[in-house]
Each structure stands twice: as C-alpha cells, then as structure tokens.
Amino acid sequence: MRLTDCYNFHDFRRMAKQRLPGPIFDYIDGAADDEVTYRRNTAAFENCDLVPDVLRGVADVDMSVTVMGQKLKMPVYCSPTALQRLFHHQGERAVAAAAGKHGTMFGVSSLGTISLEEARQISDGPQVYQFYFHKDRGLNREMMARAKTAGVQAMMLTVDSITGGNRERDKRTGFAIPFKLNLAGMTQFAIKPSWAIDWLTHERFRLPQLENHVKMDGGALSISRYFTEMLDPSMSWNDVAEMVQAWGGQFCLKGIMSVEDAKRAVEIGCTGIVLSNHGGRQLDGSRSAFDQLAEIVDAVGDRIDVMMDGGVQRGTHVLKALSLGAKAVGLGRYYLFPLAAAGQPGVERALETMRTEIERGMKLMGCTSVSQLTRRNLRFRS
C-alpha cells in the first residue's frame, strides 16, 4: 500500500498496520477495557445530521479560527500525544513541520520524544505544551519554566489521567518503554523487519522532558507504571489554580467532561478546556466528548474557549462539532496513523485531506466562515 492510495482515516490506519509491529500498532489503536468508549466516540457523530443551506455564494471560504489567543488557518489541530518517535523515526519533528505548513496548532507531550526547544525551532506557529501533574512538584515547576523559556504560548494540563487506564492489548504483548516484550510481542516485531531497521539506524530513543527525572536504563518503564507511580492522584482544583496563576497566560485543561468541572475551570482562570475522554483510553463506558459538547458550551462557552477531541475521522465530524459551539477540534489517531505509515509526508497528506474535506463541507453547507455554522444546521436522531 502506498501513501497515494490513502484517501481517508481508514486507509492511513491500514497502511500503518502493514508497517508497524503488532504491539506498537495496538498501542496507538487500542483503548481501555472493552473499548466501548473508543467506538462510541466516532459513532456519536452518526446520530447527528447536517441540514445544508444552498445558494449562499460560497466561492471563497474562510475556515480560520482563534483559539486561546492563537490564530489557526483551519479549525483542527494536532493534539499532543506521547512516544511519537516510536511510531516513526521523525516523530514530533514531522508533526511540528506539517502543522506549521498548514498553519495550525500542535503540541509536545510530557512523554514527547523531542524537546520543547527543538519543536519550537521547527515551527514558530501555534503550539501548546501538554503536561501531567507529577508527584514531584519540582518537576511540574521545571516543565512550566521550560515551556515559558521555549516560547510556548499555551499550557495544556491533562486532568483525566491521574492513573493509567486498563489497556489490555498492551498487557497481552508486554508493551513497555524500553521494550520488555513477551514471546507473542517479540514474534510480532520479527515479522516487521523494516520497522526494526528504521529503529536501529536512527538516534537513540529519548524522553527529553523527563530524562532528568526518570531512569530509562534500569528496567522497563511501562506506560501504565508511569501513570500509576509518577502522577499524583491527589491533584486538586487548588493545585491547578496555583499552576494557572504561576503560568500567567493561556492555560487549558484537557479531559473536562462535566458542566460542573467546566464552570470550575472558568472560576480558576483557565482560558480553554478540551472535552476529551483520552480517546477511550482511560475510563471505558464514559460519554463521548461530542455528546457532552452542547451542554458545556451552553454553560461556559461565552467565557472560555471550548474545544473537543475523540473519534474525529472526517471533515463533516468537525463541522458538526463547530456547529455545536466548539472553537476547534483536536486530532489524535487521525494524524498518528499517517505518521506511522509515512512520516512527515503522511501527516501532511492527512492534514491536507482534512482541510479539503472541511472546505468542501462548508461550501456544501452554504457557509463561508466558521461563525456561520450553527445548531440551526443540525438535527439529532432519537
């Protein structure tokens, strides 16, 4: 399968599956428990119909939006995700360059495989730093200080991951960083030698944001252990309020799902929230962000930038979220599969595909700007 054969999310996913060893593909593709929420995230969009207007003069379409003080040329962004150089040797470098080329936002994770500083050098476009709240408060302070020095405009604190989700696909293969695979996992690597050659012929795998605080050479740091042992389950609203004040700029909470929590985010001075269930990777059985979007926008949408992610595979999904009041929509697996399949060209093709779908969809909806997308253009199935 070639990149030119990829026209949608499912094509990119198939190409990534052909290239990646099973344990790595499953790390991207998998979710918690029975993966009910993972499936629900995309299915939620199917219960919503678009009602287009016609004869509106749509020769020119402006799909730009402003989120947390940053102007994006299109209303989607690349959500920060972990371990990207595990999927392809270019990792975050490819995503930063592709996002910069398309004028949209991307982010580096606490578990990112290039440094904040390098990412900032690759693209001076809109960027967030996604971080977790660690038991080591000094590490939390260091992360914020590094982001400030690097010139990152917005902080994004993930609040739905104080402990790791039950990702059973990873357990079956023994997936961990560094690799500590069981026999089934090693067999999967053996039958995908091209990935192994790629891995062995490029620079050493690192976690630059954590390497001064986490020893990677003495035993395996499993992703589950990182969440369970390093993150602080006692994190409270008071802790976050202190961080918001210390940062003194654009500050976003990722993982908000209830109206009450959205209101608290406004009260402590946050400028953005992302409705998210972590791609179904944490609490299985939780609602989809799209299903929660309308009531949260109604409660706080005039006081804080409301974004969402989870299950977004089409430009029409984005149009539906924007019509409900989302300021922008985050992409995760949508760009990770093309990254794994083809590096930077893959991410660029995926973002260009999404841009084309959004533009086409807006024209077919009779809209020339994102502000014209409203709930008047939606109907929900009972």
At 224 the pLDDT is: 63
Q: What is the DSSP letter of 3?
A: G
As a whole number of angstroms, the distance between CA 259 and CA 256 comes to 8
Phi and psi, residue 203, nearest 5°: -60, 160
Backbone Cα Rg of the chain: 20
Packing angle, helices 237-247 and 137-150, rounded to 10: 30
At 180 the pLDDT is: 67
Whole-model pTM: value is 0.94
38: Cβ contacts below 8 Å, ≥ 6 apart: 31, 32, 279, 280, 281, 284, 311
As a whole number of angstroms, the distance between CA 76 and CA 364 comes to 19
As a whole number of angstroms, the distance between CA 317 and CA 329 comes to 9
At 327 the pLDDT is: 98
Give the Cα-Cα-Cα angle 309, 303, 70 (nearest 5 degrees): 60
Cis (ω within 30 of 0) for the bond into 80?
no
Q: What is the pLDDT of residues 331-351, one digit of tens each?
A: 999 999 999 999 999 999 999
Give pLDDT tens digits along the chain (382 positions).
899 999 999 999 999 999 999 889 999 999 999 999 999 999 999 999 999 999 999 999 999 999 999 999 999 999 999 999 999 999 999 999 999 999 999 999 988 999 999 999 998 889 999 999 988 888 888 889 999 999 998 999 999 988 888 999 988 887 776 666 667 667 777 788 888 888 889 998 888 888 777 665 544 455 666 777 778 889 999 999 999 999 999 999 999 999 999 999 999 999 999 999 999 999 999 999 999 999 999 999 999 999 999 999 999 999 999 999 999 999 999 999 999 999 999 999 999 999 999 999 999 999 999 999 999 999 999 8
331: Cβ contacts below 8 Å, ≥ 6 apart: 76, 77, 78, 79, 309, 312, 354
At 370 the pLDDT is: 97
Which residues are paired to 158 by β-bridges? Answer: 254
- Residue among 269, 282, 213, 199 at smallest CA distance from 24: 199
Which residues are paired to 71 by β-bridges? Answer: 66
Active site residues per annotation? 278
Q: Which two tokens stand for residue 345?
A: 């060209």
At 190 the pLDDT is: 77
Q: Where are the beta strands (DSSP E) in the chain?
A: 48-50, 65-67, 70-72, 76-78, 106-109, 127-131, 154-158, 250-256, 272-275, 305-309, 328-331, 378-380
As a whole number of angstroms, the distance between CA 326 and CA 157 comes to 19
